[in-house]
Amino acid sequence: MRFLRWSGDGVTGFAPGVRRAAWPAGLVVGLGAEWLARSGQSLAAAVVDLTVGWTLIGCGLLLWSRRPQSRIGLLLTLAGFAWFLGTLASSRIEAVAVLGTALLFVHRGPLCHAIVGYPSGRPSGRLGMIVVVLCYVYAAAVPLARSDVVTVVVAFLVLAATVGGYLLAAGPGRRARVTAVAAAAVLAVALAGGSVARLVGAGSGAETSCAVGI
């Protein structure tokens, strides 16, 4: 097995051919997913969706090539491909939509892993490891990922674990983790923002209903 080699420092080498093949594969997977979902979303939504997926794959492959000893590039690449699996949920083809719905949030697992584990891909401390595992469970279980309360908790845990990794690091390692803290903050806002708004809206709606009833 010459394609993959692991060491104490993480991924030390995938065959260059595998990385090169991932570029056209990402192109095909992205366009294929959007084509299958074309009847369930607008052109603007498809463009945004395609841009997000391709950005994750492109950034991941570039990082993977430049820093093969780190797992971040691989994780971002996986997140990009997984993003397009979720796109299939918009398809009007029932079997395809069912598959896409089951994998709708799976990209959040490797994405959160990359943030918490930055820059090596290895989480710092027990909290980081636990949070990464919880993120994969959360991403794979659609009912959990659809829960606004759980999403807010996960976003907070990712931010807390990333800040914890920053505090545990020193020197160049700490400076490198500033990027991770910023990414965790952006992700927390993106994930928790909508969830908090819906929870607050639901609470306001409930209060209004009670007032009307009284």
Q: What's this model's pTM, rounded to 2 decimal places?
A: 0.86
Residues 120-156 have pLDDT tens digits of 999 988 999 999 999 999 999 999 999 999 999 999 9
Segment 169-184, tens digit of pLDDT: 888 888 889 999 999 9
Same domain, 93 and 132: no
Distance CA(214)–CA(211), nearest Å, equals 5
Task: Tell whether 52 and 90 lie within a shared domain.
Answer: yes
Q: CB-hemisphere CA count at 13 Å for 211? A: 6
Are 44 and 21 part of one and the same domain?
A: yes
Q: Are residues 16 and 69 in the same domain?
A: yes
Whether residues 116 and 85 share a domain: the answer is no
Residue segments in the chain with a per-residue pLDDT below the cut of 50:
1-14, 205-213
Structurally, the chain folds into a number of domains equal to 2
